[in-house]
Amino acid sequence: MGASAVVRTAIRVEGIVQGVGFRPFVYTLATGLGLSGFVGNDADGVFVEVEGPADAVKKFLLGLERDAPPLARIDRVAATAMVPSGSTGSEAFTIAASGPAGRPGTLVSADTATCADCLRELADPAGRRFKYPFINCTNCGPRFTIVRDVPYDRPLTTMADFAMCEPCAAEYHDPADRRFHAQPTCCPACGPRLRLLDAAGNTLPEPGDPLARTAGLLREGQVIAIKGLGGYHLAADAACEQAVAALRTRKHREDKPFAVMAADLAAARRLGEVDSAAADLLTSNGRPIVLLTRRPAADIAASAAPGNRSLGVMLPYTPLHHLLLQTVGRPIVLTSGNVSDEPILFRDGDALARLGGIADAFLIHDRAIHIRTDDSVARVFAGRPMLIRRSRGYVPEPLSVSGGFPRQVLACGAELKNTFCLARDHHAFVSHHIGDLENAETLRSFTEGIEHFGRLFDITPQVVAHDLHPEYLSTKYALELADEGLSLQGVQHHHAHIASCLADNGAEGPVIGVAFDGTGYGPDGTIWGGEFLVAGLAGFERAGHLAPVPMPGGAAAIRQPWRMAAAYLDAAGGADPADALDVMRRNQAHWPAIVAMARKGINSPLTSSAGRLFDAAAAILGVRDAINYEGQAAVELEQLADPGETGAYPAGIEAGPPFRARGSDLVLGVIGDLAAGTPPEVIAARFHHGVAALVEAGCLLTRERH
């Protein structure tokens, strides 16, 4: 076949190719190459037929993947030769109407930060969307949080209630326009509007721009509930101690750090250390909260992140945030709108009812949020981005799992910081952050989320995977599904951590995996959490672990780290009462009873948990005896550590197998240095380095043995 021979090719494109400007891109590419044909989409993705000279069709296929629009994420392109119809390049290439909704298998994109084009329009006094807080286009704006069902089309989103005005409709139907088929497109004439309400939910009577008035209230030191993209936030002037302290008190959140939103990268740099990897993360489409090393001179209220050397900073990701930050003129605390440990509020009625006692006023709007989605949290580690909480801006984009899933799977996750996952073919759809499955509202979020994901991605699970812990609500949910005929698969908690890590890195193992964690149910009936596993995706062998110690009082020992100090000191051979440690003096009323409880094994399950070892060290060092948020003692111990110190406490390893690494040796190191008057900052650093050395030794031993 010569280069000039006319060919016709049918093409199927699968992936995130809807609602991202893919069809206009195909149109421009095809017409630029003088090809005839059409492009359209249906529930499976985008279909294209092109006809023209063979070399032009070849160029078209190359450009299709190489030059795709920013939000497109192509999974697969399949091309099939057809018989040419005889049409010529002079005939139009057309964009076909959306096909009938068949199997709803298309992928939905994540919510995406306001793009540069929209920001320019937002600032253009001559434009019709000047300062419009809901401006968006094909390349940016709300997606996952407004999608009620698939295919992704305006009537199936929470924008269905807003009828487009004539100019908006014209843009929407013009293939050459940036807003061609941008489902959430709108303008001040036809789209959502802001309202400012008082704490009781009444519209404030004084006239004025709600956004400018909100900025004024924030500057006066008030706490404002602001409806965002995935839920309500609570906002306060980040530099105003009185405002941030009031927010903390009213929210019943004692010490857990708040995140801060800064107007732009320059403002973020005044708050924390921003290297190029952090800058990339801060300005990425996902716009996570990025944990930065805080600048000592940062103008941030002491209550924002008490006793913490790092600060969670994010940049505006909606036009509303951009306008607000510009108007306030300085960073604001922006934390999830909830009461203590409840999930983030996202329905107007609930938010008004629950946050009325916290917020002085509400900035709300009339675009509904269909699914609650918290901000994502990330940090830079060793020059690479590392997600700590993957939610808004990332979800529901799937992970590709090379082995694939022969049967459709629901994985129910654990209890704390729960996410679930639905999987089919080669896609794993990990959910948004659900939270701690300890109350009815979070459980509802979990069950409704599973139903929503099942509908969006057409997944009817045949297999349900669950944590081995029989008391987790997620496990109980899985067991109920088993009663309905699904096959059950229990997964050990730390094997799940390591398998997730493998999937995240596109690997299958086997690997030496180290899971240092708080709590996970072990098949031997003890509580695991300092584990060295030789693991692949499908199975594992426990190569070694921290030597178990009793947890006196069970869950009470998690809330009161001094109990773990008692257990570890006893395991280490006991401290000489003659030179009693401060931690013993502080807790002397209960100390002997707790030690006795541990020795007799009364309500004292054995644990190899790394979290409990950190708790013991933190309590002995006087960091804290009781916590008010998960992991607090370990977080503060890390903050205490002197970055300049390089010493490490040695820890012995008992051969096994499985080998047992003696955490109590590290505790002996701590009390030895304490007795010698070594500063706590140095001791904290030596403890951390001791843990690192122990991990290294455990890995080397495992490698020798396997």
Q: With contacts defined by CB under 5 A, how many residues of the chain interact with Zn ion?
A: 10
Rounded Cα–Cα distance for residues 490 and 464 (Å): 9
Q: Which is nearer to Zn ion, 172 or 528 (CB)?
A: 172
Write the binding mask 75 to 114 for Zn ion: x where contact by CB under 5 A, - elsewhere.
----------------------------------------
Site for Zn ion in 132-151 (CB under 5 A): 137, 139-140
Q: Which two tokens stand for residue 408?
A: 């459709």
**Contact by Cβ (8 Å): 542, 535:** no
| Residue 637 binding Zn ion, by CB under 5 A | no
Q: Which is nearer to Zn ion, 187 or 358 (CB)?
A: 187
Closest separation in Å from C-beta 208 to Zn ion: 23
What is the amino acid identity at position 623? V
Selection from 313, 333, 325 nearest residue 234 by Cα? 333
Q: Which is nearer to Zn ion, 194 or 236 (CB)?
A: 194
Write the binding mask 5 to 44 for Zn ion: x where contact by CB under 5 A, - elsewhere.
----------------------------------------
Beta-ladder partners of 194: 365
Rounded Cα–Cα distance for residues 86 and 250 (Å): 72
Binding range to Zn ion, per CB under 5 A, among 95-103, 163-171, 201-209, 347-355:
163-171
Q: Which two tokens stand for residue 417?
A: 């910081």
Q: Which of 165, 339, 463, 699 binds Zn ion (CB under 5 A)?
A: 165
Closest separation in Å from C-beta 331 to Zn ion: 24
Q: Which is nearer to Zn ion, 264 or 436 (CB)?
A: 264
Q: Which is nearer to Zn ion, 125 or 207 (CB)?
A: 125
Beta-ladder partners of 512: 534
Binding range to Zn ion, per CB under 5 A, among 31-39, 129-137, 195-203, 329-337:
129-137
For strand 377-381 and strand 399-411, is the pairing parallel, antiparallel, or unpaired? unpaired
Q: Which of 115, 496, 584, 670 binds Zn ion (CB under 5 A)?
A: 115
**Contact by Cβ (8 Å): 299, 311:** no
Closest separation in Å from C-beta 376 to Zn ion: 20
Which alpha helices (H) appear in 256-391, and where do they start and end? 265-271, 276-282, 319-328, 348-355
| Residue 168 binding Zn ion, by CB under 5 A | yes
Q: Which two tokens stand for residue 248?
A: 């903390």
| Residue 118 binding Zn ion, by CB under 5 A | yes
Selection from 122, 134, 119 nearest residue 189 by Cα? 134
φ/ψ of 225, rounded to 5, equals: -85, 130
Q: Which is nearer to Zn ion, 120 or 703 (CB)?
A: 120
Binding range to Zn ion, per CB under 5 A, among 69-77, 166-174, 642-650, 674-682:
166-174
Selection from 542, 537, 475, 489 nearest residue 515 by Cα? 542
Closest separation in Å from C-beta 166 to Zn ion: 8
**Contact by Cβ (8 Å): 637, 682:** no
Q: Which is nearer to Zn ion, 24 or 605 (CB)?
A: 24
Rounded Cα–Cα distance for residues 690 and 78 (Å): 54
Q: Which is nearer to Zn ion, 189 or 386 (CB)?
A: 189
Write the binding mask 585 to 624 for Zn ion: x where contact by CB under 5 A, - elsewhere.
----------------------------------------
Residue with tokens 């199997």: 103
| Residue 187 binding Zn ion, by CB under 5 A | yes
Beta-ladder partners of 385: 380
Residue with tokens 């096909």: 99
DSSP 343: P
Beta-ladder partners of 488: 464
Site for Zn ion in 189-208 (CB under 5 A): 189-190
DSSP 375: B
Q: Which is nearer to Zn ion, 24 or 536 (CB)?
A: 24
Q: Which is nearer to Zn ion, 19 or 398 (CB)?
A: 19
| Residue 320 binding Zn ion, by CB under 5 A | no
Closest separation in Å from C-beta 226 to Zn ion: 21
**Cα radius of gyration (the chain):** 28
Residues that bind Zn ion (CB under 5 A): 115, 118, 137, 139-140, 165, 168, 187, 189-190
